[in-house]
Structure 1
Amino acid sequence: MSNCAACPDAIDDNNFIKCNRCSKKFHLLCINIKKGELEKAPRDYESNWLCPICLNKQPKSDNSRKPVRPTTPTGMADMTFINTRRKLHSRTDSDPSIHLSSASDAGIHNIREIIRDELRGVMKDFMADYMTDFKNTIKSQFSEIMSEINEFKNSLEFISEGFDSMKKELSAANAKIALINKENETLRSDIYSLKLRLNTFDQLSRSSNLEIQCVPERKAENLIIMVQELGKSINFNLNEKDISYCSRTAKLKSDSPRPRSILVKLNSPRTRDCFLAAAIEFNKKNHENKLNTGHIGILSTKVTPIYVTENLSPENKHLHAAARKVAKEKNYKFVWIRGGRVYLRKTETSEAIFVRNEEVLEKLNKL
Structure 2
Amino acid sequence: MNIIRREIQQSVTEAIESAVKMFFSKEFDEIKSELATLQEIRKSMEFLSSQYDRVNSDIKYLQDRLTLVTIEKLMLSSQVLDMSDRLNLMEQHSPETNIEINGVKENKSDNLLSLAKQLCSTISVPFMDAEVLSGARASKMNDKNDRPRSIIIKLQSVKKRDEIFATVSSFNKKNTLDKLNYSHLGYAGNKSPVYVSEHLSSHNKKLHASTRNIAREKGYKYVWIRNGRIFVRKEDHTPAKQIKCYDSLNNL
Superposition TM-score, scaled by structure 1 size: 0.64
2:241 matches 1:353: yes
2:138 matches 1:212: no
1:271 is aligned to 160
Between the aligned partners of 2:133 and 2:105, the Cα distance in structure 1 is 22
- The aligned amino acid for 1:304 is S
- The aligned amino acid for 1:263 is I
Identity of aligned residues (%): 32
- The aligned amino acid for 2:17 is A
CA displacement, residues 165-216 of structure 1 (integer Å, 9 cap, x when unaligned)? 2222222122111111110111111111221222122111221111100111
2:86 is aligned to 197
- Answer yes or no: is the 8 Å Cα contact 1:245–1:265 preserved in 2: yes
CA displacement, residues 208-244 of structure 1 (integer Å, 9 cap, x when unaligned)? 1111001111222111111111011111122222111
- The aligned amino acid for 2:238 is S
1:180 is aligned to 69
Name which one, 1 or 2, has greater alpha-carbon Rg.
Answer: 1
Distance 1:119 1:243, change over 3 A: farther
Give runs of ≥4 in structure 1 deviating > 4 Å.
117-123
- Answer yes or no: is the 8 Å Cα contact 1:226–1:296 preserved in 2: yes
2:120 is aligned to 231
SS in 2 for 1:220: coil
- The aligned amino acid for 1:298 is Y
2:51 matches 1:162: yes
Between the aligned partners of 2:12 and 2:124, the Cα distance in structure 1 is 137
- The aligned amino acid for 2:211 is A
Between the aligned partners of 2:20 and 2:129, the Cα distance in structure 1 is 125
- The aligned amino acid for 2:227 is G
2:206 is aligned to 318
Between the aligned partners of 1:229 and 1:145, the Cα distance in structure 2 is 107
1:289 is aligned to 178
- Answer yes or no: is the 8 Å Cα contact 1:228–1:237 preserved in 2: no
Q: Which has the larger share of helix?
A: 2
Between the aligned partners of 1:224 and 1:123, the Cα distance in structure 2 is 136
Between the aligned partners of 1:310 and 1:345, the Cα distance in structure 2 is 19
2:18 is aligned to 129
SS in 2 for 1:167: helix
**Contiguous gaps of at least 5 residues in structure 2:** none
Per the TM alignment, residue 346 of structure 1 is displaced from its structure 2 partner at its CA by: 2.1
Distance 1:123 1:193, change over 3 A: farther
- The aligned amino acid for 1:204 is H
1:77 is aligned to none
Between the aligned partners of 1:149 and 1:175, the Cα distance in structure 2 is 39
- The aligned amino acid for 1:216 is K
Asked which structure has the greater RCO (Cα within 8 Å, sep 6+), the reply is: 2
Between the aligned partners of 1:272 and 1:122, the Cα distance in structure 2 is 132
Between the aligned partners of 1:123 and 1:199, the Cα distance in structure 2 is 111
SS in 1 for 2:251: helix
Per the TM alignment, residue 262 of structure 1 is displaced from its structure 2 partner at its CA by: 0.2
CA displacement, residues 288-309 of structure 1 (integer Å, 9 cap, x when unaligned)? 1111111110124x32110000
Between the aligned partners of 2:188 and 2:9, the Cα distance in structure 1 is 141
Between the aligned partners of 1:350 and 1:170, the Cα distance in structure 2 is 54
